[in-house]
Structure 1
């Protein structure tokens, strides 16, 4: 059986695929690979006519700071990172618990008892609505995120572009009323556009991947009696430890994109400027050498939340939501179990997420 090469050209995807975690760290932390994958994808996968027709949409996505590199990325990221600081996330714990309890109430109002819409989407949506200061429902927020995700994954489809354009307009209108963006630059049209795009990106980032993590955490915990017993017994740290296992086992985001900045050789392969690169986040979590693979920003030994200066700014909040859910779910429904219905996975190529997860609550 042939081993997966660390770097290979995929003819079907028309891009390089980095499968080795050591090489992935190198690519994600190297100036020879830039973050502007949207711009390159617009050029490769959208016709000139479509780019012109949906110019507002493409400009909106270009302004997401995850599409920039240092020093611009550092400057744009800093105020968001301050806002989502560790102390702020800790202060959110009581509110996250209140939201979780309300969503568990909604789950108990079934049957059928489907964890995804009632709990995973509900918690992630309501938490992000609280952080951003908007009144839209979790259903609306997740519809926005899924619509943008479909377009990002298939920019060549004009129907996806049309739906994403409408979503951009709805998000822009909602964010104009939101609380959090008011403390960000608003002086010029350019400032307002950048602020709107930044908060749209924050919303997007805190919805689908977090919902995926929440549902996977419940599913995997119910499938492992020893873990479920430890969480039910409220063993200190049990929930947090298990969330980390779920993250390593099934990262909500499978890969990150990069663009080759200039002609170069890597792992014995010749790469050309402009080539797209998919960097896998699903390789082995730990490296052999002590500290050798740790993220220089956080110390994490895995790639689940990215690596280096682009490390996910919302990682502490996602971890908090998952641990709170696991503890509150076990306390509320200690005799819960997975239902006979097979869990249904979504079709998205980038995210590993459940569309439906049915449980029996044992009450």
Structure 2
């Protein structure tokens, strides 16, 4: 009988094609060799070096699910596998790829003009430039339609005023996709970060996603030309479509974090002896490990199904909500259980589990809280919206 892989119990990676497996192996090897030895230091210092963007760009990971303009046109599963393998090292790495490719680049690729695409996408794909995505505000998180940032016409220009918060890479980005209310409705604007009136400050007191740059953005009479406006008409739909792209990456990414936590607990309990036997030999330990295997398997099945639906052009936003809700919950349950199996040592950076666990607290919130996704699913199955 074939030996089962403890980290892929149902051999789900057999469902990947050759290209997807090649991407998996390449990114796993590179991230393990180049990023893993440094990630604890990044986490402790609360930083993610800017040069990493060029490395990820050279690997072709930015906007890899898009086509043209230096983007690979890879399958949804290939992009998902990349998110999984990066987040197996740290959620900050997956977040960088998600924000760059699924938010900033997707917004330009899907909703920008041809001139905007030609100007920004090749540089963003190569990691020569960084983008950020300004939607969330201090007073509007789950309710982005209530944003207070505004844009008013002034001749042929637009003038933006307002603020955004929890924006990844706001201090290092070269271009910010800023969503603002106009007299006609919400519009998207491409704002080069060197524009007078644009400023950003780092959020330094966070206890999660420390190997990621979270910032506050301030817009004070920021003047941009009419050519900076994204192509679609007013409305929140274009912004939400970008969030769905990022949520898809999270569905896959959290599996990587959970897999690392499970593998760490499995290895530790197999070596650590108490009461004359390895911890893995106790029934309660095996119960926890079995639960982790089930959660990881269910999450992987969900991610793979969503990838196939996406490739077929049949993936609905509500299905992404289900995946984000279920997989983020499963991942943090695995991380919390793994932490208990490591004892006091699990509280330190000697093991990756606590770092992943705190990161996953943020992942539960970003791109839609549990409550929002529950309401999305509830509205879908009942036909009754309950957001208000």
Normalising by structure 1, we get a TM-score of: 0.23
Q: Which has the higher strand share?
A: 2
